[in-house]
Amino acid sequence: MKRRAQASYRGAKRAAAADAPCPIVLTAGTTVALPGTLAGMADAVARANRAPQILVICWGRMQVEGLGAGKDFKLYPGGGRPWDWAETGTGHSPGIQPADVEELVAHGADTVVLSQGMNERLQVHLATRRYLRQHSVQVHVAETRQAVKIYNDLAKGTLVAGLFHSTC
């Protein structure tokens, strides 16, 4: 029985390593509290009130704290989810729609970071900028890697949300 458990554990370790094509990059000073410990529970409470950090960004793949891996994400205070452009008819042009950011504002964000993709092909519709301005939300628009840096810095102490596109 013990041998079977050890073999299963080694197999899971190999599978996890094979599933990580991008290097895992944590920001300087990042610490990880283990689940089930007092520090882990305090960390979970703190995370519930802030936007999740983006741990990895590379072409076509992001790794987000508490959400796992994916291509495009909507992130906001307390969580996030994959960003499906088909929900609102978003495309590179006319770009990010007001309907894409409504959910971010509804989660209490007072700052929104919008990524334009790695090659800055994703536009931001003028009506989206107008919507955010009307709701007194500060907006940052940048190339994806720069948008991730802005977002992660703001997520440490601001009610920030973001839309992130990991390809063109």
pLDDT digits (tens, 9 = 90+) for 72-90: 999 999 999 999 999 999 9
Query: How far is Cα 91 from Cα 96, in angstroms, rounded to an integer?
Result: 7
Contact 70, 165 (CB under 8 A): no
Query: How far is Cα 161 from Cα 102, in angstroms, rounded to an integer?
Result: 11
Q: Which of 161, 166, 160 is nearest to 121 (CA)?
A: 166
pLDDT at 13 over 70: no
In this prediction, residue 49 carries a pLDDT of 76
Q: Which of 144, 94, 152, 141 is nearest to 119 (CA)?
A: 144
Q: How far is CA 95 from the centre of its chain?
A: 19
Q: Is 18 helix (H, G, I), strand (E, B) or coil?
A: helix
pLDDT at 1 over 80: no
pLDDT at 10 over 80: no
Query: How far is Cα 159 from Cα 22, in angstroms, rounded to an integer?
Result: 28
Query: How far is Cα 70 from Cα 57, in angstroms, rounded to an integer?
Result: 10
The third-level CATH classification (topology) of the domain covering 2-165 is: Hypothetical Protein Mth938; Chain: A, (3.40.1230)
pLDDT band, very low/low/confident/very high, at 8 (cuts 50, 70, 90): very low
Pairing of strands 72-76, 160-165: antiparallel
- Order the strands of the 160-165 sheet from edge to edge: 79-82, 72-76, 160-165, 111-115, 138-142
pLDDT at 115 over 80: yes
Q: How far is CA 143 from the centre of its chain?
A: 14
Indicate the helix (H) or strand (E) that contains 46.
helix 38-48
Q: What are the tokens at 73? A: 């994400």
In this prediction, residue 90 carries a pLDDT of 94
- Tell me the domain boundaries of the chain: 2-165
pLDDT at 69 over 60: yes
pLDDT in tens, 117-155: 999 999 999 999 999 999 999 999 999 999 999 999 999
In this prediction, residue 44 carries a pLDDT of 56
pLDDT in tens, 14-62: 344 334 455 444 444 454 455 555 555 445 545 567 999 999 999 999 9
In this prediction, residue 33 carries a pLDDT of 52
pLDDT at 167 over 50: yes
